[in-house]
């Protein structure tokens, strides 16, 4: 299991998280290649199906990254996303899956280093958890 490299999907809002990722790039900061960034116009666009389809497609972890609370470009998109993430985390728990495989992060567009911190933190967390239970058995079969 030590050579397990997780596949992580990050849904990043255009105004903050995605810009922070851009900033990290401009600053030549490294973050794990495990993280595949998907641009969404606002985390308010995040649909629970996005995360479920990511898991169905083989993701080991999914996170949603949006603006700091109170600074959403569309006022409350990140609060809506937070509600959806929390709802889906409970659904994952009822399936007997670690709810931390889905998380929400908040950061501003100027926080390039923070984006890298989150990417590292989440990748380490999922690496520690191991492969997604949604694909372990079917792959072994």
Residue 48 is a binding residue for other proteins (CB under 8 A)? yes
Nearer residue to other proteins within complex by CB, 2 or 96: 96
Q: What is the nearest approach in angstroms of other proteins to the Cβ of residue 131?
A: 11
Nearer residue to other proteins within complex by CB, 29 or 97: 97
Q: Give the CA distances from residue 33 to residues 37, 82, 120, in Å, rounded to whole numbers and listed in that order.
A: 10, 25, 10
75-104 residues near other proteins, rule: CB under 8 A? 91, 94-97
3-state per-residue secondary structure call for the chain: CCCCCCCEEEEEECCCHHHHHHHHHHCCCCCCCCEEEEEECCHHHCCHHHHHHHHHCCCCEEEEEECCCCCECCECHHHHHHHHHHHHHHHHHHCCCCHHHEEEEECCCCCHHHHHHHHHHHHHHHHHHCCCHHHHHHHHC
Question: Which span (36-44, 53-61, 99-107, 116-124) binds other proteins, by CB under 8 A?
Answer: 53-61
CB proximity list for 124: less than 8 A, separation 6 or greater: none
Residue 45 is a binding residue for other proteins (CB under 8 A)? no
Q: What is the nearest approach in angstroms of other proteins to the Cβ of residue 90?
A: 10
108-137 residues near other proteins, rule: CB under 8 A? 133-137
Which residue from 1, 3, 26, 141 is in contact with other proteins, where contact means CB under 8 A?
141
Which residue from 11, 55, 115, 122 is in contact with other proteins, where contact means CB under 8 A?
55
Q: Which residues bind other proteins (CB under 8 A)?
A: 47-49, 52-53, 55-56, 91, 94-97, 133-138, 140-141
């Amino acid at each position: 299991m030590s050579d397990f490299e997780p596949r992580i999907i990050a849904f990043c809002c255009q105004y903050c998280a995605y810009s922070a990722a851009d900033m990290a790039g401009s600053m030549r900061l490294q973050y794990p290649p495990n993280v595949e960034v998907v641009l969404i116009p606002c985390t308010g666009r995040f649909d629970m199906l996005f995360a479920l389809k990511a898991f169905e497609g083989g993701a080991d972890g999914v996170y949603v990254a949006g603006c700091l609370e109170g600074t959403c470009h569309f006022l409350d998109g990140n609060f809506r996303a937070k509600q959806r993430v929390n709802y889906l985390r409970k659904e994952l728990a009822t399936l007997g899956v670690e709810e931390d495989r889905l998380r929400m992060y908040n950061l501003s567009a100027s926080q390039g280093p923070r984006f890298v911190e989150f990417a590292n933190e989440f990748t380490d967390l999922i690496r520690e958890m191991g492969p997604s239970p949604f694909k372990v058995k079917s792959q072994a079969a």
